Amino acid sequence: MASEIDVIPALTTRRDEAQGWLEGIVSKGLGWARKYSLFQYPFVTACCGMEYMTVASARYDLDRFGAALPRFSPRQADLLMVVGTVNCKQAPILQRVYEQMAEPKWVIAFGVCASSGGFYDNYATVQGIDRIVPVDVYIPGCPPRPEQVLDGIILLQKKIQDQQHKLIAPSLPVIGQAPGRP
Amino acid sequence: MAKAVIDALVARFPDAVYDPYVGVGGDDCAFVQRDRIDEVARFLKTDPAMRFDLAPYITAVDYLGQDPRFEVVYNLLSLANNVRIRLRVKVPEADPVVKSVTPVWRGADWFERYCFDMYGLRFTGHPDLRRLFMYDEFVGHPLRKDYPLRGRQPLVPEREVHDLFRGPGPATRD
Amino acid sequence: MATDGKVAGKDTRATPGSFGAGEARRGLATEPPRPPPVRAPESELDAPLSSKRMIVNLGPSHPAMHGVTRAVVELDGEMIVEMKLDIGFLHRGFEKSCENVTWTQVFPYTDRLNYVSSIMNNVGFALAVEKLCRLDVPERAKYLRVATSEIHRICDHLTLIAAMGMELGAMTVFLYCIEARDHLWDRLAELCGARLTSNYARIGGVARDAPDGWVEKTVRSLERTRELLDEVDGLLTRNRIFMDRTIGTGPVTREDAIDLGFTGPCLRASGVPYDIRKAAPYLVYDRLDFDVPVGSNGDNFDRYLMRVEECRQSMRILEQCWKQMEPGEIVVADFKYALPPKPLVYGTIEGVMAHFKLIMEGIKVPAGEAYSYTEAANGELGFYVVSDGGGRPYKLGLRAPGWPMLAALPHMTKGYLLSDLVPTFDSINMIGGEVEQ
């Protein structure tokens, strides 16, 4: 539910608070559970993949954040980490992988090529994957230092915690719907 | 030693190999007619004195404004004799066809596909001449000098994003 | 592996205590490479049921972190009958981008070609342009280029060993090699500013000099790397599982390797002792003493052993570099090619003008064409440079070392099992950035 779940509003009336108290507790609990058990789909393409390998390894450990296990099937993953340049030939594949993932799902644009196309402003490269899929966290850098990546993961975890989670999701977007929906 | 190779080539194919010269840094080069390049290649590979058996590095250059416009460049290496030469084949724009050297070296296969994909040069005798890097729906040959640098042809319709660098507008504005 | 190390029926080459240590050598590892079989059954009753061939798409989003390649394999049971490769999913328009920037601005683009050993790409391109400009680089710059290239060669080989171990199930090897690589990257970050994409060479020399104490720290990092490499060697080289999966799989004969255009460790694994550092020495390789390992079978195990041994030889080269390197200039003193030092830029008119022209218009390289070839970690890295006399390249062609090996992958795996595709794809070290430019 990248960028589509409403954030819990900052100002509420007492009536809203009374109605939403249990929902708020459930939302906080679900947020806590979801942020500390991220199953990532590493959509690795280019040089940032080397830094991804380093982040997943022993020194800068991604396992500390609960995000260690890569799941190479989109159905089993909830975090799509797009690592490296996505070019026009790869774009339909990225879109298909994103659509195959089940809700809730988040997207991290890892590296400057995934965030905005990097310095490859030419005929072959998509200028940022947010032209194809909605993105939650952008991690710039060419390639970003592992500490920067961990900072991005922590930002994402904060975002997940603050989103509104429900036990029964109201109306889910339909897979296969025309892309480009807001 | 490479000079001897070029001299032998010119002696053997006087009408196909012309204009030998010594390039920068001592590289020995020569020009070859585009319909005789496969004979020259076969001679270079099979002759026991030449033995240029390693598949060469083949690339193409677009000299826009000159005629003939394209040039296919073969950088050959003989492992046994440790000799390198360069052969250049001029290709006109009106008829961008060259004989393929894939029957001689199997490793030349993808290099020729690359030249076709990026420049539009056709190689007769190539077993499987199709695009290598670009997708089949792509129109045009990107490395030609008259193809725009930013000539993107997206495969999927792109979302509308708030782009500070390019300003507001439709997704296909560049 | 010619010798048969059996002593009293036990295989001395297996890891002690393992399954293989207590029994005779199993046939699988001593058989010659299997020819692509169309198995004729002995009798009709024993013939397998006729089955349909299955086409499986190993799609561009790979579980193995190797870059994006689509391999469409046609399987008969588990055996690969036909394989087609579809590439282009990482084509970033390197050549066209380079035609639109100045000569010095090309260096970051070359970094991202073979992104595990960036400095070798930088040096290769710098050598091509210096050939056209007829420049000779100062001695210290040459030694720094060689030293950093060898450090990145070690990083490249460590990455390959890590990936190969991980995909065959040895996760520990992956973690150890990445740890060793991290140590070297820390040293390079102190020198170049970036861990991975170094942007270190310049036309006429290198970008910056080694900081104080850097050489001593690097010597200690290399000792740690050597320890980790020895540990990994002990874990993998005589490991029964590793040996069974890599010996005899993906073999390439000597003639095939030459015909298909292999260079580098893959060619040497097939038995051809060709190394550009020995055959056509560039920079200071003629003053350094090192050996070039050559294999015999051309299968995955030999390609792996090449890399381990080349790491050790690179460490030998580095020890000699530290001894032979003298303090001195790191870039040519010609302001037409190198930025003048800052006191001159701020103090003299000539310095300001030279600086301005170099930054705004770029280095004016004389018109012509040149091809420079270096021994990158993967093979012969060639840059074919065409200049029209201006500040931007007219054409920059790249001969990627991994390209012929990738093109030959169907030839290497036809007739073998699908699970043999994994170590074969690992051992050719296909780096997406250089193959797809």
User: Do residues C119 and C222 both lie within one domain?
Assistant: yes
Q: What is the mean pLDDT of chain C?
A: 85
Looking up residue A89, the CATH number of its domain turns out to be 3.40.50.12280
The answer to whether B10 contacts chain C (CB < 8 Å) is no
Neighbouring CB atoms inside 10 A of C143's CB total 24
- Cross-chain residue pair B157–A124, CB shorter than 8 Å: no
Q: What is the mean pLDDT of residues B30-57?
A: 89
- Cross-chain residue pair B75–C371, CB shorter than 8 Å: yes
- Cross-chain residue pair A88–B153, CB shorter than 8 Å: yes
Neighbouring CB atoms inside 10 A of A177's CB total 9
In a domain, C85, yes or no: no
pLDDT of residue A173: 60
User: Do residues C10 and C129 both lie within one domain?
Assistant: no
Q: Which residue has the higher pLDDT, C31 or A120?
A: A120
Residue C119's pLDDT band (boundaries 50, 70, 90)?
Answer: very high
Q: Which of B150, B153, B171 sits opposite A131 (nearest CB)?
A: B171
pLDDT of residue A181: 40
Q: What is the mean pLDDT of residues C307-324?
A: 93
Q: Which domain holds residue A133?
A: 39-156
Separation of alpha carbons B52 and B63, rounded Å: 28
Q: What is the mean pLDDT of residues C13-30?
A: 42
pLDDT at A170 over 80: no
Neighbouring CB atoms inside 10 A of B11's CB total 9
In a domain, C162, yes or no: yes
- Cross-chain residue pair B159–A91, CB shorter than 8 Å: no
Q: Which of A124, A134, A179 sits opposite B156 (nearest CB)?
A: A179
The neighbouring-strand residues paired with C399 are: C382
Sort out which chain A residues have CB atoms less than 8 A from B134's CB and list them: 89, 124
Per-residue pLDDT tens digits for A34-70:
999 999 999 989 889 899 999 998 899 888 998 888 8
User: Do residues C22 and C159 both lie within one domain?
Assistant: no
In a domain, A81, yes or no: yes
pLDDT of residue B71: 93
**What are the structure tokens assigned to C362, written together?**
């770029």
In a domain, C323, yes or no: yes
Contact C330, C208 (CB under 8 A): yes
- B vs C, Cβ pairs < 8 A, gives 94
Q: What is the mean pLDDT of residues B105-112?
A: 91
Neighbouring CB atoms inside 10 A of B136's CB total 7
Work out the percent of chain C whose per-residue pLDDT is above 70: 88
Q: Is A21 exposed, middle or buried (0-12, 13-18, 19+ CB in 10 A)?
A: exposed
Interface test with A, best of B138, B141, B144, B152 (most A CBs within 10 A): B152
pLDDT at C134 over 60: yes
User: Do residues C120 and C5 both lie within one domain?
Assistant: no
In a domain, C192, yes or no: yes
CA-CA-CA-CA dihedral for B113, B116, B119, B122, to nearest 10 = 140
User: Do residues C142 and C21 both lie within one domain?
Assistant: no
- All structural domains of chain B: 2-124 (3.30.460.80)
pLDDT at C156 over 80: yes
Cα nearest neighbour of B58 on chain C: C399
The answer to whether A96 contacts chain B (CB < 8 Å) is no
Cα nearest neighbour of A86 on chain C: C90
pLDDT at A6 over 60: no
pLDDT of residue C15: 44
Looking up residue C326, the CATH number of its domain turns out to be 1.10.645.10
Task: Classify strands A40-44 and A79-83 as parallel, antiparallel or unpaired.
Answer: parallel
Contact B111, B104 (CB under 8 A): no
In a domain, A3, yes or no: no
Sort out which chain B residues have CB atoms less than 8 A from C259's CB and list them: 53, 55, 105-107
pLDDT of residue A177: 54
Q: In chain A, what is the straight-line distance between the N-terminal and C-terminal CA atoms, in Å?
A: 12
In eight-state DSSP terms, residue C137 is -
pLDDT at C233 over 50: yes
Residue A24's pLDDT band (boundaries 50, 70, 90)?
Answer: confident
Q: What is the mean pLDDT of chain B?
A: 88
Task: Classify strands C10-11 and C54-58 as parallel, antiparallel or unpaired.
Answer: unpaired
Sort out which chain C residues have CB atoms less than 8 A from A142's CB and list them: 197
Q: Starting from the edge strand earliest in sequence, which strands make up the sheet with C79-86, in order? A: C54-58, C70-76, C79-86
In a domain, C317, yes or no: yes
Q: Which residue has the higher pLDDT, A69 or A5?
A: A69
- Cross-chain residue pair C196–A143, CB shorter than 8 Å: yes
User: Do residues C189 and C113 both lie within one domain?
Assistant: yes
Q: Which of C259, C395, C399 sits opposite B105 (nearest CB)?
A: C259
Residue B8's pLDDT band (boundaries 50, 70, 90)?
Answer: confident
pLDDT of residue C69: 87
Per-residue pLDDT tens digits for A148-158:
999 999 999 99
User: Do residues C10 and C143 both lie within one domain?
Assistant: no
- Cross-chain residue pair C96–B143, CB shorter than 8 Å: yes
Query: Strand runs (DSSP E) across C261-391, as ranges?
Result: 368-375, 380-387
User: Do residues C298 and C385 both lie within one domain?
Assistant: yes
Q: How many domains does chain A have?
A: 1
Q: Which domain holds residue C13?
A: 1-31
In a domain, C60, yes or no: no
CA angle C183-C188-C190, nearest 5°?
Answer: 100
Model-wide pTM > 0.90: no
Q: How many domains does chain C have?
A: 2
In a domain, C16, yes or no: yes
pLDDT of residue C397: 92
User: Do residues C319 and C405 both lie within one domain?
Assistant: yes
Residue B99's pLDDT band (boundaries 50, 70, 90)?
Answer: very high
CA-CA-CA-CA dihedral for A59, A60, A64, A68, to nearest 10 = -100
- Cross-chain residue pair B107–C407, CB shorter than 8 Å: yes
In a domain, C349, yes or no: no
Q: What is the mean pLDDT of residues C264-293?
A: 91
Q: Which residue has the higher pLDDT, A175 or B137?
A: B137
Chains that touch B (3 or more CB pairs under 8 A): A, C
Per-residue pLDDT tens digits for C247-272:
888 889 999 999 999 999 999 999 89
Buried b (16+ CB within 10 A) or exposed e, C336-369: ebbbbeeebbeeeeebeebbeebeeebbbbeebb
Closest Cα of chain C to A164: distance in Å? 31
In a domain, A172, yes or no: no
In a domain, A26, yes or no: no
pLDDT at C32 over 50: no
